[in-house]
Structure 1
Amino acid sequence: MTTSSLSSPPEGTAATAAPPKTDVPVLISGAGPTGLLAGILLAKMGIRTHIIERDMTVSPLSKAFSLHPRTLEILRQTGQDLSTRFEKQSLECHMGRMYFGGKLTAELQWTPAMESQFHHTWGLPQTSTVRLLTEEYERTGMGYIDRGWELVDTKVVEDIVGKKTTSWVETTIRRAVEGTNSRKGESAVLGTVEQAGEDEGKQYEIKVVKSDFLIGADGGRSTVRHVLDIPFPGRTRDANIILFDGHIDTDIPLDEMANLHAVGMFPLNGNRVRFLLSDGTLTEEEFAARKVKTPTKEYFERLLEETVTPHKVKILSYNWLTYYRANERRATEFVYKQRIILAGDAAHTHSPMGGQGLNTGLQDSYNLAWKIAMVLKGTAPLSLVDSYNEERIPIADEIIQLSSKNLNFFVSESYWFFQARKIGLALFSYLAPYLPTGTGGPTFAMLGLRYYKNSLNKEHATHHYAPTAPASIGRRAPDDIVYPLAADSTPVRLYNLMDILGAFQILVFTADCQVQKHGLEATLFTDVEHYQRSWLARWPGTGTGAATGVAASKASPQFMVHIISHPGLDATIGDNDLKKGSGYGKMYLDSEGGDLHRRYGITAKGGIVVVRPDTHISYRVESFDKAAWVDVDKYFGSILCRS
């Protein structure tokens, strides 16, 4: 073995001063979608990262290919250019066709998710997702990917000086001197969570990397999770699900998703498709040995023909053909000693049914990145990271349960279940045209996922925590159209105003002309200016930072205030009173019917709604008088560092 220190960033990579005792602020293990998005978000908030990835090249397998509306919102918030690149290469899914007995029995038109600017699911192979995210990460110039390196050990180190305790992460990584880090006997079956044994006599180069944080985004077999001995309870399903990705010749239209008995068909590009096919269950011996049969082209083609007949499907070529092991598991904790965090499949695994996996991992990163950035900048205490554990564990449990139900319907676990499913599919196929259509609701679109009351999401006496209420604490902030005051200005979406990564958005709703009725114009604008100045002075913007590895870039505001006026209010004078400098929002009019006021549950008294950097609501107060502003100020003081 040979040992060396951390290598220098490649030429062209931004080099910034690292904090004492650490080589890089954030080390990320895994260059998949979850790790890459975390790196991108942190970079755009001024935080340097270093990504290690065991594989020398990006996997050519299509793997996950569904991007749901909530994820598309996140990509848009990450960057308009990034969102546009994804859109150009994705297939927008408008419907699902159902076939039964050789006939097309239903075309289910997905009801657009109108609560978002993204109305449908986009289809894109994971290979393309990784490529686009890799390109975006490299554009930031705030980090680099070390391929061929894998994590072998990690720990949190504490240094106690007097009454003050500081901590950091020390991670051991290695690279094979010859060949690759792949090991003999590794399972090629997707969904596996067991690690392979070591190869004897293999020589490695060893490094130790010190970082403030480590993000373990290294997949279901996560080494980070294993070396920290974090339990991964759950179950391994005995379903034999065959995944196929290749080119076919068929008489079935390839422009939309389709269900043919127990086969799911998903178009990728041209005549390239993804098939999911249930091949029964493992025998007791196979299940106990954690082994499955290796599907051959001939076996799969025969099984496919038996299932889709009388339709014709001929395999022309294929990129991969494998079984998938559905593991329904969740780590007992996602945050280890506030410094090491699990994300994506390293934290939770489940079946591919419903296409929730990749989306959940990306949303893990969206929840986590701004919290790490605020801690590194000294804006928030280290305890803010604990809220990631509080919020993402319930989400993982919900997704696992949803995917499990979908898998139960897809596979035949017993004779009677199989017969019932056949009857159910037949009835549904013929009744579907007469039933209400939909995207599967906010759950499938992932717009309805919400967080609960915790150290970050707090209720106020004027607005109690109500889990089912719209725009309640912890829910995703509703999006809709608002109108600039100038008559010739183009309407804009609220989410497009809240596009500063890492910034809190404060929405002030004036309700039924409260400003004019009570003569509060001067008071409102004075309060806005006063608290904007106060917050920006106490908690600097997202692009600033000292000895924390933060790039010396132009500061972005940490707080933005947007006033949403009731359409009956003539607010042109008030808008002129608002500052137009960095950190100050503007006034906008709601729609004629006051749609945004209604969706946010605003009463006649108006209100102030605090939207977190990840566009979830964390606090709200009825009214916008001086007492309401004082309470909002106290809220920020309770979650951020003392000034």
Structure 2
Amino acid sequence: MPEPDITSPRQTPEVLVVGAGPSGLVAALTLLRNGVPVRIIDKAAEHRIGQRGAGIMPRSLELFHQIGVAHEITKRAITTPVVKLYEMPEGRKALRTFEMSPVLDATPSCPYMNILMLGQDHLEEVLRASLAEYGVQAELATEVVALSQTPDYATATIVKYAGTDREAREIVSHPFIIGTDGARGVCRKLLNMTFLGETRNVENLIIGDIMVEGLEGDYWHMWGDASTSMVSLRPTETPNLFNFMLAGKDVNHRELSKDEDGLRAALTAGTGGQDHLVFGDFRWVSHYRPNMRMVDKFGEGRIFLAGDSAHVHSPTGGQGLNTGIQDSFNLTWKLALVYKGLSPLSLLDSYNEERLPVIAEMLNQTTTLLNQTFRSRKAESAGWVKGGSLLQLGVNYRWSSIVIDEQQSDYDLEDIDELDEFDDDDWVEEQQAAQRRAAVDSYGVGFDGSLRAGDRAPDAPDLSDTQLSDEHGPLCSHSLFDLFGATHHTALVFVESPEQSYAPVIKALRQQPRNTTRIVIIVRSGALVPSVRGVQYVLEDDLDHASRAYTVQGGCDTVIVRPDGMVGGIVRGAEGVKRYFRRIFA
């Protein structure tokens, strides 16, 4: 149809999310939960199918809990199967079995401890269903072809397609645009941001999903090794559907990825030519070249990137999808406050500051795993993790300029010569921030277990609600994860005794913008419950779960948890509360 004559952009209050994969859906969902209108579009004509990024890390499950979808995801997902490695060339006898990721017991502070497997297509179904509850659906066959911005808005030229014919073109000005359209998407290119890093042409892979008959669905099956020739068949949440990987120096990856019959023959040969294995229909197939690349900034002004639009990675370690989800959580709570006029635009600078070191370390760790996978003859090296830092529970922002930790000085003020001559808090804070950046450990590999501002906020269950009780005791209990949320800060005020002076802290918290801060008083087990007004919860820590998880020092009694589930502040009193929120709100 003819294009309309457009002379000026149409103004809209919606934030535009470009790309309807997990990062984009999470970004849209968290914005909607914050009361921010959203439009989400995707170039694809149909929703993508296939396992793709199937491993969901514990940290992602914690964040999904905050937006109300964790239960549905855990209900659909399966645990990481035990690997069965076969002797070649016959491929029938199992040499050994091993856990790619060991099963760990939940703890009070970490209720999600295991990697779950759920196809990316099914994860997106869950997120789209939650999005639909807000009356929002992703617009398919809809593409951004141009971007520009001013200090006040970002403008996108959007084209809608019907089949192969151009259907309509519109130019729309949005308060913000978030690009989550993937490594091959246009947002990064239109912003003239280039990927830094490497593309590996040696370790080529063919990956996809295939129906297989005659194979146990309780094991992750492997033949050979990635340094020479390897076939991996991992069961999925769909019976008889296996996610496969074919790797090897002598495999013609590009040609086989286009030849289904040839690919079936290669899988048959790679598994020892067993007659009882029947390889059926393919759900999807992709020729994959490992990329370890990232942009040098995740956005500026009113246009931002998240997920694969900002960083691409090797398939080892299961970090990519999970890291993109964390990008979206980090960005959107800040963007929502700026959108509402509660925070300055400069708050969004912390998105780059906080996420860039995390992504750099993610690429470092997954590249190390990739090298181990293709240079080792041990299948245990092939592509997944054996617990540890890649569960992402140690990801932190301790170096961030918007977090405050008053347990101990990050910069020993007594060691600054002639400090008395400087009456400049900003200067002192700049020095503190410089020292924090110099000691970045974004995955928390070397941490000693002590809680610091910038860390993931732990859970604590079995907290008795003293405000809902009768003569027999509390009528209900809470966990901290149920009180945290993507729409508000949560201030935890730990009260040891009735004599503790906590009223000034509560007053300072209540002075923050309306509905932005939830106040929770936590009383140590056995202590007298104080009479408190103006707070949402007064909880008794019956089993000391909260006290153990939030062991803080230096006279600090207040922990401020951000909407992305990270500790923003650990402070001593009312002045610390004010100091933290001055960095957040306008």
Instruction: Pick the TM interval, shorter chain.
Output: 0.7 to 0.9
Instruction: Report Cα offsets for 1:557-608 as digits up to 9, x if no partner.
Output: x11122222224232xx1xx223x7x622222152xx443333332484521
2:508 alignment counterpart: 531
Counterpart in 1 of 2:249? 280
Matches for 1:95-494 after TM superposition, within 5 Å:
95-100=82-87, 102-108=93-99, 109-112=102-105, 114=107, 115-141=109-135, 143-158=136-151, 167-176=152-161, 179-180=163-164, 203=166, 205-238=168-201, 239-251=203-215, 253-262=216-225, 263-268=231-236, 269-280=238-249, 294-309=257-272, 313-336=277-300, 338-411=301-374, 417=375, 421-422=376-377, 424-425=378-379, 440-460=386-406, 462=408, 464=410, 468-469=447-448, 470-484=450-464, 485=466, 487=473, 489=475, 491-494=477-480
Q: Aligned pair in 2 of structure 1 residues 113, 352: CA closer, same or farther (>3 Å)?
A: farther
Cα distance in 2, alignment partners of residues 259 and 509 from structure 1: 51
Q: Indicate conservation of the 8 Å contact 1:171/1:210, yes or no.
A: yes
Q: Distance in 1 between matches of 2:159 and 2:511?
A: 48
What is the alpha-carbon distance in structure 1 between the residues aligned to residue 478 and residue 220 of structure 2?
Answer: 32
How far apart are residue 171 of structure 1 and its match? 0.8
Q: Which residue of 2 aligns with 1:75?
A: 64
Contact in 2 for aligned 1:242/1:279 (Cα 8 Å): no
Distance 1:584 1:241, change over 3 A: same
AA matched with 2:460: D
Closer/same/farther in 2, CA of residues 305 and 146 from structure 1, 3 Å limit:
closer
What TM-score do you get using the length of structure 1 for normalisation?
A: 0.76
Contact 1:356–1:399, Cα closer than 8 Å, also in 2: yes
Of residues 559, 578, 585, the one that matches 2:532 is 578
CA contact (8 A) 1:95 1:110 kept: no
Name the structure 2 match of 1:188.
Answer: none
Residue pair 2:314, 2:366 contacting (<8 A) in 1 also: yes
Is the contact between residue 408 and residue 554 of structure 2 (CA under 8 Å) also seen in structure 1?
A: no
Tell me whether 66-75 or 558-567 shows the greater mean CA deviation.
558-567
> Post-superposition shift, 1:207?
0.6
Secondary structure of the corresponding residue to residue 451 of structure 2? coil
Offset of 1:3 from its aligned partner?
Answer: 2.7
- 1:210-239 deviations in Å (ceiling 9; x for gaps): 001000011111211111111112211112
Q: Could you tell me how far 1:458 is from its partner in structure 2?
A: 2.7
8 Å contact kept, 1:94–1:110: no
2:168 maps to a residue whose letter is E
- Does the C-alpha gap of structure 1 residues 393 and 606 become closer, same or farther in structure 2, counting only changes over 3 Å? closer
SS of the equivalent of 2:317 reads: coil
Residue 79 of structure 2 corresponds to residue 92 of structure 1: yes
The normalised TM-score by structure 2 is 0.83
| Most deviating of 267-276 and 296-305 | 296-305
Paired with 2:476 and 2:514, the residues of 1 have a C-alpha distance of 32
Matching residue of 2:429: none
Cα displacement string for residues 252-299 of structure 1 (whole angstroms, at most 9, x for unaligned residues): x3124344433333211211110122132799xx9xxxx665353343
Distance between the aligned counterparts of 1:561 and 1:203, measured in 2? 53
Report the Cα distance in structure 2 between the residues aligned to 1:313 and 1:477, rounded to whole angstroms.
47
- In structure 1, C-alpha distance between the alignment counterparts of 2:72 and 2:390, rounded to whole Å: 23
Which of 511, 518, 521 pairs up with 1:560?
A: 518
Which of 26, 44, 55 is the matching residue for 1:37?
26
Contact 1:24 1:50 in 2 (8 A): no
Q: 2:407–2:553: 8 Å Cα contact kept in structure 1?
A: no
Residue 577 of structure 2 is matched in structure 1 by 632
Contact 1:247–1:315 (8 Å) recurs in 2: yes
CA pair 587-439 structure 1, distance change in 2 beyond 3 A: farther
Q: CA deviation at 1:618?
A: 1.6
2-side partners of 1:134 and 1:319: how far apart?
21
Q: C-alpha distance in 1, partners of 2:14/2:318? A: 32
Deviations along 1:445-488, one digit per CA (max 9) or x if unpaired, are 21111113222123336454686253212110122324205545
Paired residues of 1:590 and 1:597 also in contact (CA < 8 A): no
Query: In the aligned structure 1, how far is the partner of 2:532 from the partner of 2:181?
Result: 47
Aligned equivalents of 1:281, 1:233: Cα separation in 2: 29
1:562–1:588 contact (8 Å) kept in structure 2: no
Deviation of 1:332 (Å): 1.6
Q: Is the 8 A contact 2:405 2:452 kept in 1?
A: no
8 Å Cα contact 2:51-2:208 kept in structure 1: no
Aligned to 1:2: 3
What RMSD, in angstroms, separates the aligned Cα atoms of the two structures?
2.9
Relative to structure 1, is the Cα distance of residues 394 and 51 closer, same or farther in structure 2, using a 3 angstrom cutoff? same
**1:55 Cα shift?**
1.6
Cα–Cα, structure 1 residues 87 and 599, in superposed 2: closer, same or farther, change >3 Å? closer
- Preserved contact between residue 39 and residue 49 of structure 1 (Cα < 8 Å): yes
**SS of the residue 2:280 aligns to:** strand
Structure 1 segments unaligned to the other structure (5+ residues): 7-19, 159-166, 181-201, 412-416, 430-437, 542-557, 623-627
SS of alignment partner, residue 2 of structure 1: coil
Deviations 1:322-342 (CA, angstroms, capped at 9, x unpaired): 311222110121012x21000
From the superposition, tell whether residues 54 and 604 of structure 1 become closer, same or farther in structure 2 (CA, over 3 Å): closer
Return the offset for 1:502: 2.1
2:393/2:456 contact within 8 Å kept:
yes
| C-alpha distance after superposition, 1:321-380 (max 9, x if no partner) | 3311222110121012x2100011100001222221111111111111111100011111
Residue 53 in 1 paired to residue 33 in 2?
Answer: no
Deviation at 1:28, TM superposition (A): 1.0
In the alignment, the residues of structure 1 paired with residue 57 and residue 116 of structure 2 have an alpha-carbon distance, to the nearest angstrom, of 7
CA deviation string 1:375-429 (max 9, x = no partner):
0111111011111111111121122222222222333xxxxx4xxx22x449x99
Matching residue's letter, 1:588: E
Q: Tell me, which stretches of 5 or more residues in structure 2 are unaligned?
A: 226-230, 411-435, 442-446
Structure 1's 351 and 387: CA in aligned 2 closer, same or farther, altered over 3 A? same
Contact 1:34 1:361 in 2 (8 A): yes
Whole-Å Cα distance in 2 between the matches of residues 313 and 355 of structure 1? Answer: 28
The answer (yes or no) to whether the contact 1:563–1:587 under 8 Å persists in 2 is: yes
Paired position in structure 2 for 1:598? 548
Cα distance in 1 for partners of 2:453, 2:139 equals 40
Confirm or deny: 8 A CA contact 1:113 1:445 kept in the other structure.
Answer: no
* Cα distance in 2 between the residues matched to 1:205 and 1:169: 20
SS in 2 for 1:152: strand
Q: How many aligned residue pairs are there?
A: 528
| 2:540 is equivalent to residue 588 of structure 1 | yes
What one-letter code is carried by the residue in structure 2 that aligns with 1:569?
A
Cα distance in 1 for partners of 2:148, 2:49 equals 33
Give 1:98 shift. Answer: 4.4
* Contact 1:151/1:172 (<8 A) preserved: yes
Which has the larger displacement, 54-63 or 368-377? 54-63
Q: Are residues 1:495 and 2:481 paired?
A: yes
For the Cα contact (< 8 Å) 1:247–1:316, is it kept in 2?
yes
Indicate how the Cα distance of structure 1 residues 110 and 104 shifts in structure 2: closer, same or farther if over 3 A, else same. Answer: farther
Partner Cα distance (1:243, 1:379) in 2: 46
SS in 1 for 2:176: strand
The SS at the match of 2:39 is: strand
